[in-house]
């Protein structure tokens, strides 16, 4: 039997975690990485029989690497707390690993929901993806150092995509989608500040226009009606918000450094005066 580990990284998402873990009972083990959680995430994870890695992980890549390290399965299934794996996909994953392995990793389709409404088309930019490499042999996937949406590098051969899809709930309503945009843009701003990838408002607006056209026109967001339009607009806001916040982050860091250096300078001045 091929041993399968499920990996879930959580940050204060206990409201969604229980259902996510319940749907992973078909896996041989569940590993939950609890990053600075102050809610009931650890308690819920242990109640579902999960191995819990509790700690402080500044980057998303740190969390996932620590989780994979704790997995004992030959294969790893990566799931977010706001996602569930239905019975049909669980069966397909098991059959694929046991009877017809065609590669070292597989992409899993993602059905994105806002509340109970499935939004099939129009996803672009950072708000969500429609397909990701989530099922892979342990040790073949690595992540670039990022706080959010860390790009993955995979070794080995792709086995293609499975048929079944993970169900991801992006928010109970549009307000939840706005909250997601706010959180992702704040984290992305930190990454931009770290890398020194600062651009002006004009560049951010240009990127936003490009994202909107990609989401609403090229990727068929227009088929989703009003919800597709609003989703495309929110996706377009992400690069502009991220760039604006990145400049605020840089200024705040400079101010913090200056404040920390002030007592040192004062002591130096006092020392010179004493001479």
Same domain, 161 and 192: no
- For residue 235, the enclosing domain spans 173-265
- pLDDT given for residue 270 in this prediction: 54
- 32 and 73 co-located in one domain: yes
| Site of tokens 């990053």 | 35
Sign of CA dihedral 200, 201, 206, 211: positive
Verify that 72 and 165 share a domain, yes or no. yes
Query: What pLDDT sits at residue 266?
Result: 56
* Residue 110 Cα to chain centre, angstroms: 13
Please check whether residue 211 is in contact with residue 234, taking contact to mean a CB–CB distance below 8 angstroms.
no
* CA–CA distance, 187 with 63 (Å, rounded to integer): 15
Q: Check residue 84 and give its pLDDT.
A: 97
Same domain for 64 and 177, yes or no, is no
Q: Are 158 and 140 in contact (CB under 8 A)?
A: no
For helices 174-195 and 226-274, give the axis angle rounded to 10 degrees.
40
- Pick the last residue of a domain from 121, 138, 170: 170
What is the rounded CA–CA span in Å between residue 149 and residue 67? 16
Last residue of a domain, one of 152, 170, 188: 170
Q: How much of the chain is helix, strand and coil, in % rounded to 5?
A: 50, 20, 30
Instruction: Tell me, yes or no, whether 149 and 51 share the same domain.
Output: yes
Per the listing, tokens 């990566």 go with 78
Final residue before a domain boundary, out of 135, 170, 205? 170
pLDDT (0 to 100) of residue 124: 75
Cα 188 to Cα 136, 150, 153, 194, 244: the distances in Å are 26, 10, 19, 10, 11
Instruction: Assess whether 179 and 162 both reside in one domain.
Output: no
Distance CA 5, CA 92 (A): 15
* Tens-digit pLDDT string for the chain (275 aa): 899 999 999 999 998 999 999 999 999 999 999 999 999 999 999 999 999 999 999 899 999 999 999 999 999 999 999 999 999 999 999 999 998 888 999 999 999 998 899 888 887 777 788 899 999 999 999 999 999 888 899 999 999 999 999 999 988 888 888 888 898 899 999 999 988 888 877 887 888 898 888 888 988 889 989 888 988 888 888 888 898 899 899 889 888 888 877 765 655 555 555 55
Number of domains, the chain = 2
Q: Are residues 199 and 255 in the same domain?
A: yes
What CATH code is carried by the domain that includes residue 127?
3.90.550.10
């Amino acid at each position: 039997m091929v041993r399968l580990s499920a990996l879930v990284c959580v940050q204060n998402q206990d409201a969604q975690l229980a259902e996510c873990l319940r749907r992973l009972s078909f896996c041989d083990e569940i590993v939950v990485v609890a990053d600075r959680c102050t809610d009931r995430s650890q308690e819920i994870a242990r109640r579902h029989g999960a191995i819990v890695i509790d700690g402080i992980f500044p980057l998303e890549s740190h969390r996932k690497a620590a989780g994979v390290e704790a997995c004992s399965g030959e294969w790893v299934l990566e799931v977010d707390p706001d996602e569930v794996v239905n019975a049909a996909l669980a069966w397909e994953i098991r059959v694929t690993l046991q009877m017809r392995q065609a590669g070292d990793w597989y992409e899993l389709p993602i059905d994105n929901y806002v509340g109970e409404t499935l939004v099939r088309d129009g996803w672009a930019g950072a708000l969500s993806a429609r397909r990701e490499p989530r099922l892979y042999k342990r040790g073949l996937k690595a992540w670039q150092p990022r706080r959010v949406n860390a790009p993955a590098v995979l070794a080995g051969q792709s086995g293609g995509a499975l048929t079944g899809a993970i169900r991801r709930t992006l928010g109970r309503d549009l307000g939840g989608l706005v909250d997601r945009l706010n959180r992702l843009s704040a984290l992305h701003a930190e990454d931009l500040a770290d890398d020194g990838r600062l651009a002006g408002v004009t560049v951010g607006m240009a990127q936003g226009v490009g994202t909107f056209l990609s989401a609403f026109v090229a990727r068929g967001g227009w088929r989703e009606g009003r919800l597709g339009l609003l989703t495309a607009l929110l996706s377009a806001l992400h690069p502009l918000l991220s760039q604006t916040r990145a400049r605020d982050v840089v200024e705040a860091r400079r101010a913090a450094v200056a404040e920390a250096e002030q007592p040192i300078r004062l002591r130096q001045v006092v020392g010179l005066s004493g001479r």
